[in-house]
Amino acid sequence: MSLIESEDENTPLLRGDADGIEDADRSRWKSIRVMYFTMFLSSVGFTIVITSIWPYLQKIDNTADASFLGWVVAAYSLGQMVASPVFGLWSNHRPRREPLVCSIFINISANIYYSYLYHPSSHNKYHMLLARAFVGFGAGNVAVVRSYVAGATSLKERTSAMATMSACQALGFILGPALQAALSFIGEEGFPVEIIQLNFNMYTAPALLAACFGVINILLVIIILREHFVDDHGKQIRAINYVSEEQVAVAPEVEGNIDQIAVLTSNILFFIILFIFAVFETISTPLSMDMFAWTRKEAVLYNGIILAAIGFESIIVFLVVKVISTRIGDRPVLWGGLAIIFIGFFILLPWGNYYPKIQWADLKNTSIPVIALAATPLPNGTVEPTGCPFEQVWCQYTPAIHLAQYITSDILIGVGYPACNVMSYTLYSKILGPKPQGVYMGWLTASGSGARMLGPVFVSQVYTILGPRWAFSLICCIVLAAIILLTAMYKRLIAFSVRYGQIEEG
């Protein structure tokens, strides 16, 4: 399979006229927009089920607890962490559409698998673990997407392109939870589709919709995507591989080595940024169910709306970042974003004399007068326990988090996280310079996936055993450590071309 199909034999890149350059540029931006859409669909595919994983897990396997939820959420990131360097290496030596189509197909299959998790007679929670791992493996194509956009844009275009890609990702964060919230009206029981032996309900419908989006994504990649590579000045570069007789994009020979310390620092910062957001998205549903006595359906609906609002907020942040970063630079925006995240988690620390409602149980502890026993009647006459589980001992002595705290924290994290996210990998791509970035982007994505894997496990264990006070205090310490690291390495986090004097820093 060649990098450029037969219709590209007379590609404008092989002509020297102005029309050829214009056509090549138009093709380049069409391909970049396909990458934007791929990132958007990847985001939708992840977030469309994120708020319903916990209640779905409880429904299909009553042996699963909040601690196992952390492993289920982490499975996605483990799969992505393993796949990212592989797909990144693949994209450095073969046409990018190959790893993209392969990864999206894996994602589609995994989402269909997720929709049938209620069929096994036992160990259903482990089937969910496996399904989420395969969904994550398919999401390893994020490394390919980022390396493509980094290689197809000039240094001046890079921040804007990365911000737009992040905005598309944020739009996916909006649409995903919004679709999940809308599909929640199907209900937990839903209706059977006998011909395919499927129970179509509020848990299976989102995964099937994500699979449909994947089919659309594959078609766009096959039909529109073409290979493009430009140097830091924006000049298109192309060469012929005479061994395979294919046209391939290659990086120019440049003097100087990549600053490996800056690369390592960027990976650490990206790890921390993804770690703290993974903590936030994992704990949101259990936290809200514990603190506000929401039912499973209410938690899916309300948190879906909240995450959708955060996604909308993120798009505004990305648009602002595109303007601000051109004036004050990428590094100050990254520093400011971390500071805002610190404040967001600090606000979540519980205080006061109001305690969470406890799920109905025969509790003998009556020393705290404000504790209430909670249960919510269901339409079928049964009772769904709501509130903080009595097995979590800290519920009896830790003050409740107020809804106002929760919303304020969501707003602040919704500002800080997108700013940090786009600035971290924009800086990273600039540090790498005009060389193939597939493998390096694979390692960056792997570090982020490692964070998404460890974050849910960390918070589910600490939150379940010690409660929100310890969990969010530790997160504040981690964010503070990231701010100190960024401050110490501030002068080294500069573009490759700036470091070697090829381009003056703007």
Render pLDDT for 69-103 as a digit per residue (tens, 0 to 9). 878 877 887 888 888 888 888 887 888 889 999 99
Same domain? For 346 and 359 the reply is no
Same domain? For 488 and 382 the reply is no
Quick count: other Cβ atoms within 10 Å of Cβ 184? 25
In a domain, 447, yes or no: yes
- Considering all CA atoms of the chain, what is the largest pairwise distance in Å, rounded to the nearest integer? 85
Is 45 within 8 Å of 107 (Cβ atoms)? Answer: yes
Q: Quick check: pTM over 0.75?
A: no
Q: Are strands 373-377 and 191-193 parallel, antiparallel or unpaired?
A: unpaired
Same domain? For 373 and 330 the reply is no
In a domain, 218, yes or no: yes
Same domain? For 292 and 375 the reply is no
Domain boundary among 364, 389, 414: 389
Same domain? For 60 and 175 the reply is yes
In a domain, 394, yes or no: no
Same domain? For 78 and 151 the reply is yes
* Full residue range of the structural domain in which residue 450 is found: 6-350+401-499
Same domain? For 322 and 367 the reply is no
Is 51 within 8 Å of 21 (Cβ atoms)? Answer: no
In a domain, 506, yes or no: no
Same domain? For 259 and 374 the reply is no
Residue 399's SS3 state is coil
In a domain, 395, yes or no: no
Same domain? For 385 and 247 the reply is no
| pLDDT value, residue 176 | 81
Domain count, the chain: 2
| pLDDT value, residue 366 | 44
In a domain, 59, yes or no: yes
Query: Burial code of 158-172, b = ≥16 C-beta within 10 A, e = fewer?
Result: bbbbbbbbbbbbbbb
In a domain, 505, yes or no: no
Q: Which helix (H) or strand (E) holds 342?
A: helix 330-347
Same domain? For 375 and 257 the reply is no
**CATH for 331:** 1.20.1250.20
| pLDDT value, residue 478 | 94
Same domain? For 87 and 207 the reply is yes
141-176 pLDDT, tens per residue? 888 888 888 878 877 787 788 878 877 877 777 788
Same domain? For 440 and 368 the reply is no
| pLDDT value, residue 8 | 43
In a domain, 90, yes or no: yes
Which residues of the chain are modeled with pLDDT < 50? 1-16, 239-252, 361-373, 380-381, 502, 506
